[in-house]
Amino acid sequence: MSQPDAPARRFGPAVITYLAVVAAAIGAVAAFGARLPDAPDGAKGYAIFDGKVPLEFIFFVLTLLGVALFHHHTLGIALGGLAAVLAYKLMFVGSFHLGEHLFAHGPQEGLYEYFFGGGHVGEWRVIVNLLGLLLGFGLLAKYFEESDVPKWIPKILPDKGLWGGFVLLIYVWALSSFLDNIAAAMIGGVIARTVFRGKVTVGYVAAIVAASNAGGAWSVLGDTTTTMMWIDGVPALNVAHGIVASVVALIVFGPLAGAQQDKHSPIVIEAKGEKVPIDGTRLFIVALILAGAIVANFKLNFPAVGVWAAIAVAAFLRTPAWSEIPGAIKGACFLLSLVLCASMMPVEKLPDPGPMTAFGLGWVSAVFDNIPLTNLALHQGGYDWGMLAYCVGFGGSMIWFGSSAGVAISKDYPEARNTGTYIKQGWFVTVAYIVGFAAQYFLVPWEVPEKHRADKAGAVQGNDGK
């Protein structure tokens, strides 16, 4: 079993920490800030440092620092950050309207198109979808664990040195290529807890997150961002060539993570010949939920609908582990707070498309949700989508809260929320990101699909982005 949450430190509750952050932001505005001159009524709010940094960025950055530094109070800090950003936007940014931000202009082309179409309908669909997936896949992971398949998995894993841990990461990578990366990460976490007898290093948890994100980064079914690209008209093959970077990254971090885990706690297989009874009904439910996610993702652009439809049917066969929901809700509230904060940042345009821009966005993705980044990139056009999908997808693995998979698995491995430990033990993820990018850059020409947004950048470009 993973270690339980350590007692909270005595420095005070998270709200006091965040109030200090807010005070620092207000002090910065008092010292350096001024209204943005673009709107006479101050509709765009305040900025500091000669108008180059909008104030909401300061709130968001300080919130992220609080999450990184005070890992025992991540939920409180995230909620406080969301409250501060939202209050500022409502009180001082006249052009911001919460209803429009969340729901756009309502169903203009019919209810079906509004709920399941591919156009912009506001942030509600992203929020509801993520919430449904995080909670639904929490139940899926419990169904999978209680099926006793994780007890059978060691029999097909190598039990010599680093190879068992590496092969398990390959399984997670492959699973994520056709499933949502959240589900792949949570299933990988359940298997790891069983095969390593609960003694899983934070570095190996980081590797599970990285494997799930790498596997999903080259498939239009494997990640929310790649599905967004597909719906927006990017051909699946123009995303799939990102598999080069994905595979190279896996080859880099996989053996290193396996060696680290083997040194800490190797796979112990007492009797490979012993039969393990499998609960076929629970295993069927797992398959049913996964199938529901895939079908709803493909048909409705809303995988959470398929997940919960399958759970409703499955409840007649086996009672869901509703006790998993409270813990999953906490993780979901944390992630959704950061996603909403990120969505309210005044980022109207990314730097000019090119390999180095995509590389930089990967680092940004480690702390800034990759969904709004991808949305901005799609509106801008001109990217090699396989490269971008790898960067913003795998880049989020470098810090635990940089991806939904990392947040989801931290429910079962709360020690992974210690950002310093995560980065220190999972250093190989960062190295793998750089090496994977280099392999993609030198081996696969930078290419923008001609048929995608021809009114923007529809020409095939070279590696120099020209």
Q: Give residue-wise pLDDT tens across range 340-389.
A: 888 888 776 677 888 999 999 899 888 877 777 787 787 778 889 999 99
For residue 407, tell me if it sits in a domain.
yes
Diameter of the chain measured on Cα atoms:
77
Which of 101, 131, 154 terminates a domain? The answer is 101
pLDDT grade for 50, boundaries at 50, 70 and 90: low
pLDDT grade for 100, boundaries at 50, 70 and 90: confident
For residue 458, tell me if it sits in a domain.
no
The pLDDT score that the predictor gives to residue 460 is 41
Q: Report the DSSP pairing between strands 34-35 and 46-48.
A: antiparallel
54 φ, ψ (degrees, to nearest 5): -60, 150
Angstrom distance (rounded) from CA 320 to CA 266? 32
For residue 109, tell me if it sits in a domain.
no
- From the list 421, 425, 433, 428, the residue with the least C-alpha distance to 68 is 421
Mean predicted confidence (pLDDT) in 129-140: 83
What SS3 class is residue 46?
A: strand
Are 173 and 301 members of one domain?
yes
The pLDDT score that the predictor gives to residue 115 is 67
Which of 72, 101, 130 terminates a domain? The answer is 101
Are 44 and 125 members of one domain?
no
pLDDT grade for 219, boundaries at 50, 70 and 90: confident
| Average pLDDT over all residues of the chain | 80
pLDDT grade for 179, boundaries at 50, 70 and 90: confident
How far does CA 180 lie from the centroid of its chain? 10
The two tokens of residue 309 are 């439809």
Task: Give the N- to C-terminal CA distance of the chain in Å, as an integer.
Answer: 52
Q: Model's pTM, two decimal places? A: 0.77
pLDDT grade for 206, boundaries at 50, 70 and 90: very high
Q: Which of the pair, 197 or 230, is modelled with greater confidence?
A: 197
Are 20 and 153 members of one domain?
no
Are 211 and 326 members of one domain?
yes
Q: Residue 47's domain spans which residues? A: 14-101
Element (H, E) at 271: none
The two tokens of residue 339 are 């996603």
- From the list 89, 85, 88, 80, the residue with the least C-alpha distance to 17 is 80
Angstrom distance (rounded) from CA 334 to CA 414? 13
- Residue 12 above 60 pLDDT? no
For residue 4, tell me if it sits in a domain.
no
- Residue 258 above 80 pLDDT? yes
Report whether 411 contacts 328 (CB < 8 A): yes
Q: Which of the pair, 330 or 392, is modelled with greater confidence?
A: 392
Are 82 and 147 members of one domain?
no
Are 236 and 341 members of one domain?
yes
Are 58 and 168 members of one domain?
no
Q: Which spans in 277-324 are helix H?
A: 280-300, 303-314
Are 93 and 130 members of one domain?
no
Q: Which spans in 196-235 are helix H?
A: 202-216, 224-231
For residue 382, tell me if it sits in a domain.
yes
- From the list 243, 175, 301, 230, the residue with the least C-alpha distance to 452 is 230
Are 89 and 129 members of one domain?
no
Are 384 and 319 members of one domain?
yes
Q: How many domains would you assign to the chain?
A: 2
For residue 288, tell me if it sits in a domain.
yes
For residue 335, tell me if it sits in a domain.
yes
Are 372 and 236 members of one domain?
yes
